[in-house]
Amino acid sequence: MNQEELNKIERKRKTIYLIIQTLNIAVVILFIGTFLFMFSNAFNPNFGDSFVLPFITIPLIIILVLVNRYLENSINKEISKAIYEPAFKEKNTEFSYDDGLTLDEVMSSNLFPKPDRFTSSSLTKGEISNFPYKASNITLLEEHTETDKDGHTHTSTTVIFDGRMYIIETPFYKKGIILKSKKIGKEKLLNIAVSAIIILIAIGLIIHNLLLPILSDPYYKEGVVEFFKKNLLFFIGFILIIILTIISPFLSSRKKGYRKAKLESGQFNEYFDIETQDQVELRKTLTPAVMEKLINLRSSIGEFHLSIIGSKIFFAFPKSFAIKYNKPVQELIEEAKQAVERELETIKSIIETLKLEEEKIKKGIINNN
Amino acid sequence: MELIIFIVIAIIIIGFILIYNTVISKKNNVDNALGSIDAELKKRRDLIPNLVESVKAYMQYEKDLLEKITRLRESAEKIEDPEKRLQIEQELSKALRTLAVRFENYPQLKASQNFLQLQATLTDVEESIAAARRFYNQAVTEYNNILEQIPFTFIAKMLGLQRKEVFTIPEEERANIDIGELFKK
């Protein structure tokens, strides 16, 4: 991309930025105006006559928000093409904004459950330390649809993963090793808090539905059997919950042939959920030195997921760079270059950590004969 | 009241099943880990005849050592008792390490592709044995821990389960640890 094209994008960015800001202000004014109008006329007996106004303003707000989002996406796409391409090309890497890893490729990593929605973009292909790789941004979403008692359906979306995945071709063959980063710190505390709330609610339900009715029944001695019959459904449900709690670890998202594993390092076990098809292979790959390096990597780049399956290494980590259209393109190009540099350095350190070079030499010696 | 007793009994039964299954799975994990070591040692034993064959023409002054290795391999193959076999395997490991050191005195060996291939495979198998030992030690540690923890200890006593020993590095190996090599790993 030459300087003239960059200048053109920069001009477009400034214009769209201005339009987006104007639309944002318009949305806020419309929202506040509608709210004040509704509030001031709430006690007016003739309010019915003016009721038509929100029917105009609310759809208008929605349209403006959608236009805003469309403009944001289109400028982000153009900026991505303009800034990532030079950053990756500088590293002798092929880059294609519109292409990405396929869902099958991502699923073969065994790192994520099958999503309801999947998008990928910014495909890069190249070599790091003589090992071929390909990578792209990926987003995996899960949709939940619930129907309330009035029959209305509500759909919510949960992000399974939003980041970048690298697939590195290796000289060896492994049956399967999966390392998934666990939530630590505040997120872990949040999980504990949520579990505690669920347990407290369960205990509350038991006390409310079981103990209190028994104690408040004056004929409880004679009436226990009657009471049991009356609440049979509840007790069956209660026993089912206990059984499900017991077998839930076995029903979890464990992949076929994989077993959970723990290694000697307490910190490593705290950072990662480990699954493997072969306990010996796992320990052969994750030597104490490799574990220490992965712990350091986890501390420096945050959560990442790693799997080694067949002859491929799958490495998924959060995006290291987010495009902000309120910054000049030239500034974003510099930031993108640094982000790409960091990203490739991380992959290089993974290759060094797993001693792929040594594996290649060893494999070469064994294959030569 | 009957209902409460019923629920308490149900919880006790479910708890007993869970504890029993945990103890048994830990015990089986140890057996599984021991089996892994055995499998890797078998791979090594299968490599030895080829290794001895490929080096004996070059290493004529190491005849005694090569014979010792062949003898130990044959004994390990014949013995049924796993504990006694492991003792012999340890002696075999020691002899193989001595042989690996002696390779350095025969530079002409480096020219033999067959030897280099066998050496690489042997190193690979040795790494697998070390990994299998780590797996075993981990399994034994978890098993021993559970034997001392309440309520697992009661079930373990009922089943007559005993503590197991982890693999330890022999004294002579410990004395010869090469710090440089350790840091390379």
Cα distances (Å, whole numbers) of residue A329 to A78, B2, B49: 10, 76, 68
What is the chain A residue with the closest CA to B130? A284
Of A224, A251, A278, the domain-final residue: A251
Q: What pLDDT is stored for residue B179 in this prediction?
A: 38
Q: Rounded to an integer, what distance in angstroms lies between the CA atom of residue A316 and that of residue A107? A: 12
**Testing the interface with B: which of A236, A248, A279 to mutate, by most B Cβ within 10 A?**
A279
For residue B120, which residues of chain A lie inside 8 Å, CB to CB? Answer: 362, 365-366
Residue A285 sits in the same domain as residue A356: yes
Cα angle A274-A279-A283, degrees, rounded to a multiple of 5: 80
CA distances from B9 to A180, B49, B67, B157 (A): 39, 61, 65, 22
Q: Do A8 and A50 share a structural domain?
A: yes
**In b/e form, how buried is each residue of A239-277, taking b as 16+ CB within 10 angstroms?**
eeeeeeeeeeeeeeeeeeebeebebebeebeebbebbbb
Pick from A275, A271, A273, A276: nearest CA to A303: A271
Mutation site, A228, A277, A283, A363, interface B, largest B CB count within 10 A:
A283
| A97 CB neighbour count, 10 Å cutoff | 17
pLDDT tens track for B115-151 = 888 888 888 888 888 888 889 998 999 899 888 888 8
Question: Rounded distance, CA A170 to CA A48, Å?
Answer: 71
Residue B66 burial (CB count, 10 A)? 20
Give the closest-approach CA distance of B153 to chain A in angstroms: 21
Q: Greatest CA separation found in chain B?
A: 87
Amino acid A67: pLDDT: 92
Kindly report the pTM of this predicted structure: 0.70
Residues A43 and A174 in one domain: no
Query: B1 to chain A: which residues are within 8 Å by CB?
Result: 214, 220-221, 224
Residues of chain A with pLDDT under 70: 1, 42-51, 149, 184-192, 206-207, 210-229, 235, 242-243, 245-255, 320-323, 357-369
As for how many domains chain A has, the answer is 3
Confidence at residue A335, expressed as pLDDT on a 0 to 100 scale: 83
What is the structure's pLDDT at A367? 55
Q: What is the pLDDT of residue A39?
A: 73
How many degrees, rounded to 5, is the angle at CA A227 between CA A223 and CA A233? 165
For residues A338 and A202, state if they share a domain.
Answer: no
Q: Are A242 and B14 in contact (CB < 8 Å)?
A: yes
Distance, in Å, from the CA atom of A195 to the CA atom of A189, rounded to the nearest integer, reads 10
- A242/B135 Cβ within 8 A: no
C-alpha distance from A94 to closest chain B C-alpha (Å): 34
Domain termination site, one of A204, A227, A251 = A251
What is the ipTM score, two decimals? Answer: 0.73
As a whole number of angstroms, the distance between CA A366 and CA B120 comes to 7
Residues 6+ apart with CB under 8 A from A179: A272, A273, A274, A294, A305, A306, A307
Q: Are residues A231 and A325 in the same domain?
A: no
- Cα Rg for chain B, rounded, in angstroms? 23
Residues of B in contact with A206 (CB under 8 A): none
Chain B: residue nearest A223 by CA? B1
The beta-carbon neighbor of B128 closest among A228, A262, A280 is: A280
Q: What is the pLDDT of residue A45?
A: 63
Cα separation of B175 and B94, whole Å? Answer: 13
- Separation of alpha carbons B20 and B8, rounded Å: 18
The answer to whether the Cβ–Cβ distance between A279 and B40 falls below 8 Å is: no
Instruction: Give per-residue pLDDT as tens, B16-71.
Output: 888 888 888 898 988 888 888 888 888 888 888 888 888 877 777 777 888 888 88
Q: Quick one: closest CA in B to A229, which residue?
A: B3
Query: Same domain for A119 and A216?
Result: no
User: Of A50, A65, A89, which residue sits at a domain end?
Assistant: A89
Q: B27 Cβ partners below 8 Å, 6+ apart?
A: B143, B161
With beta carbons under 8 A apart, name residues in chain B contacting A238.
Answer: 7
Q: Is residue B90 within 8 Å of residue B169, measured between CB atoms?
A: no
Where do the domains of chain B lie, and which CATH numbers do they carry? 2-184 (1.20.1440.20)
A126 and A93 Cβ atoms separated by less than 8 Å: yes
Is residue A83 located within the same domain as residue A98?
A: no
pLDDT score at A35: 81
- Whether B135 has its CB under 8 Å from any CB of chain A: the answer is yes
Domain assignment of residue A112, given as a range: 94-182+257-369
Of B183 and B130, the one with more pLDDT: B130
Interface contact flag, A225 B2, Cβ < 8 Å: yes
Assess whether A50 and A100 both reside in one domain: no
**What burial class does residue A350 get, using C-beta atoms within 10 Å of its C-beta: 0-12 exposed, 13-18 middle, 19+ buried?**
buried
* B 14-43: CB under 8 A from A: 14, 18, 32-33, 36, 40
**Contact assessment for residue A159 and residue A151, using Cβ atoms and an 8 Å cutoff:** no
Residue B177 pLDDT > 50: no
Interchain CB contact of B96 with A (< 8 Å): no
Residue A309: the pLDDT is 92
Same domain as A169, residue A101:
yes
Cβ contacts (< 8 Å) between B7 and chain A: which residues?
Answer: 238
CA of A164 vs chain B CAs: smallest distance (Å): 30
Report CA-CA distances (Å) from B70 to B20, B66, B116.
45, 6, 20
Same domain, A314 and A282: yes
Cα–Cα distance, A369 to B56 (Å, whole number):
20
Closest residue in B to A246 (Cα–Cα): B18
In this complex, which of A246, A283, A365 lies closest to B14 when CB atoms are compared? A246
The reply to whether A59 and A107 lie within a common domain is: no
The tokens of A303 are what?
């959560």
Distance from CA of B10 to the nearest CA of A (A): 9
pLDDT at residue number A141:
92
Closest-CA residue in chain A for B125?
A284
The position carrying tokens 């280099």 is B116
Distance between CA atoms of A260 and A273, rounded to whole angstroms?
Answer: 8
Q: Is B9 on the interface with A (CB under 8 A)?
A: no
Contact A283 B131 (CB under 8 A): yes
Question: Does residue A178 sit in the same domain as residue A191?
Answer: no
What is the number of other CB atoms lying within 10 angstroms of the CB of residue A158?
A: 11
Task: Collect all residues of chain B within an 8 Å Cβ-Cβ radius of residue A281.
Answer: 131
| Residue A161 DSSP SS3 | strand
Residue A1 has what pLDDT?
Answer: 65
Helix (H) or strand (E) holding A260: strand A259-261
* CA atoms within 13 A of residue A340's CA, in its CB half-sphere: 28
Q: Which of B1, B7, B8, B172 is nearest to B90 (CA)?
A: B172
Closest CA to B10 of A74, A343, A238: A238
CA distance A12 to chain B (A): 54
